[in-house]
Amino acid sequence: MCFTPYMGGMSGIATKSRVYLDHAATAPVLPEAIAAMVEAVATHGNPASVHSGGRAANGIIERSRDAIAAWADCAPDAIVFTSGGTEALALAIHGSASARLLASAVEHSAVLAARGDAVLMPVDGNGIVDFDALFAFLAVGPALVAIQHANNETGVIQPIAEIAAMVAQAGGQLLVDAVQSAGKLPLPAADFVAISAHKIGGPPGIGALIVRDPGTLRAVQRGGGQERGLRGGTPNLPGIAGFAAAVAQSPDWTRIEGLRDALETQLRAAHPSLIVHGAASPRLPNISSLGLPGVKGGTQVMALDLAGFMVSAGAACSSGKVAASHVLAAMGLGEAAGEAIRISLGAATTPAEIDAFVEAWKIMAKRLARA
């Protein structure tokens, strides 16, 4: 996605056009979502009020809930609106009845930082959960098992159906982080599924937890009684409306996967030592984790940004400093865990943008990488 150049001050000198290849971090808000939000903002009334304005606001919420439930293939009362994926995950982690938490070593920090006593399960070289370890941990007793449907750094897809069967047989509960996979893959069957609007062209600040049996969840954020008592607080009316509008759109992910594959093919041909992390496993169609031996991920990100391309490194902390990817480290990549960048495409990404990125990457690699 190309951004309009900014005319800086009185100098009249335009910055160069930007190509956005960081959709896994956040996707541009779709025009349909913006229109729905504007309409919702113009609705005057608290959804809890019984007057006509309140009823109109509540109607927007419940119609949106119905639309998202139909998209997610679940009952409307299974949808609990939250402020995003992180809160949805926290609600399940802290609100479920399970005393133990098992999580794969490649989970998002929203899971890994939620509880200090989480038991981490190893993964193989492609980032897939070790089934022997999962079986051994479940043999100790029931637990809440938190697994990403697809990894946010590599795009690698976990075999959720097989994991769900193991967890159910052990009497546990399964929490699936579907923040990256939602809208690209059918949502899996699980006790809890976390989703977020801003990854699929909806606004930031709104997400949901899909709860198979609301009776198995207790409130973490209490007060007000909203969301059937499971999440207190005045609902984000514009966000919910924008969320519903976003899920109604259907990007051509087959086209996007073709662009991603073409990008990887061209880069491998130009630089045979390039590593595509997780390439041996099924992946989301829009994510590519690329390792350039000998060059730190942060250095690559800055060089590409100067060339006009917005990408991300494997992981970044809140201070903005780039750190080695814990995902790639868990996959056994050692020093290479700090030498990766993530390219993530969106519905508006064009072949011309991919070709331009490839040329910029080749220039960078020639300048920075060892042969």
Give the integer Cα–Cα distance in Å for 188 and 178: 8
Given a cut of 70, whether residue 241 has pLDDT beyond it is: yes
- Nearest C-alpha neighbor of 277 from the set 349, 325, 316: 325
> Considering just the CA atoms, what is the radius of gyration of the chain in Å?
21
Q: Specify the pLDDT at position 359.
A: 97
pLDDT band at 320 (very low <50, low <70, confident <90, very high): low
Give the integer Cα–Cα distance in Å for 147 and 46: 36
CATH code, residues 31-247: 3.40.640.10
Average pLDDT over residues 305-329: 79
Q: Specify the pLDDT at position 114.
A: 94
Average pLDDT over residues 9-25: 66
pLDDT band at 199 (very low <50, low <70, confident <90, very high): very high
Average pLDDT over residues 292-312: 96
- Nearest C-alpha neighbor of 201 from the set 30, 317, 370, 16: 30
pLDDT band at 10 (very low <50, low <70, confident <90, very high): very low
Q: Specify the pLDDT at position 99.
A: 86
Whether the model clears a pTM of 0.85, i.e. scores above it, the answer is yes
Q: Specify the pLDDT at position 316.
A: 46
Interval 205-217: pLDDT, tens: 999 999 999 999 9
Nearest 10 degrees: CA dihedral of 120, 121, 127, 129?
-140
Average pLDDT over residues 125-152: 96
Given a cut of 80, whether residue 35 has pLDDT beyond it is: yes
Does 3.90.1150.10 match the CATH number of domain 2-28+251-368? Answer: yes
pLDDT cut 90: percent of the chain above it: 88
Given a cut of 70, whether residue 13 has pLDDT beyond it is: no
pLDDT band at 265 (very low <50, low <70, confident <90, very high): very high
Judge whether 96 and 75 are in contact, CB under 8 Å.
no
Given a cut of 60, whether residue 168 has pLDDT beyond it is: yes
Average pLDDT over residues 159-167: 97
pLDDT band at 370 (very low <50, low <70, confident <90, very high): low
Tokens for 336, please give them.
Answer: 């290479």
Instruction: Identify whether 2 is a catalytic site residue.
Output: no
Alpha-carbon distance values, 333 to 64, 125, 132, 133, 267 (Å):
43, 8, 21, 20, 20
Q: Is 140 helix (H, G, I), strand (E, B) or coil?
A: coil
The domain limits of the chain are 2-28+251-368, 31-247
Interval 51-60: pLDDT, tens: 999 999 999 9
Given a cut of 90, whether residue 7 has pLDDT beyond it is: no
Alpha-carbon distance values, 13 to 7, 130, 303 (Å):
6, 54, 21
- Nearest C-alpha neighbor of 328 from the set 317, 318, 342: 342
Catalytic residue among 42, 139, 317, 371: 317
Interval 181-197: pLDDT, tens: 999 999 999 999 999 99
Tokens for 177, please give them.
Answer: 């982080």
String of DSSP letters for 223-266: SS-TGGGTS-S---HHHHHHHHHHHT----HHHHHHHHHHHHHH
Tokens 């809140």 sit on residue: 318
Distance of CA 41 to the CA centre of its chain: 26
Give the integer Cα–Cα distance in Å for 289 and 344: 9
The answer to whether the 2-28+251-368 and 31-247 domains have the same CATH topology is: no
String of DSSP letters for 43-78: --S-TT--SHHHHHHHHHHHHHHHHHHHHHTS-GGG
Q: Specify the pLDDT at position 181.
A: 98
β-pairing, 287-291 with 340-344?
antiparallel
Interval 118-137: pLDDT, tens: 999 999 999 999 999 999 99
Q: Specify the pLDDT at position 193.
A: 98
Q: Specify the pLDDT at position 104.
A: 97
Average pLDDT over residues 316-333: 76
Average pLDDT over residues 229-239: 94
Average pLDDT over all residues of the chain: 92
- Buried/exposed 188-224: b ≥16 CB within 10 Å, e otherwise: bebbbbbbbbbbbbbbbbbbbbbbbeeeebebebeee
Q: Specify the pLDDT at position 120.
A: 96
Question: What length does the chain have?
Answer: 371
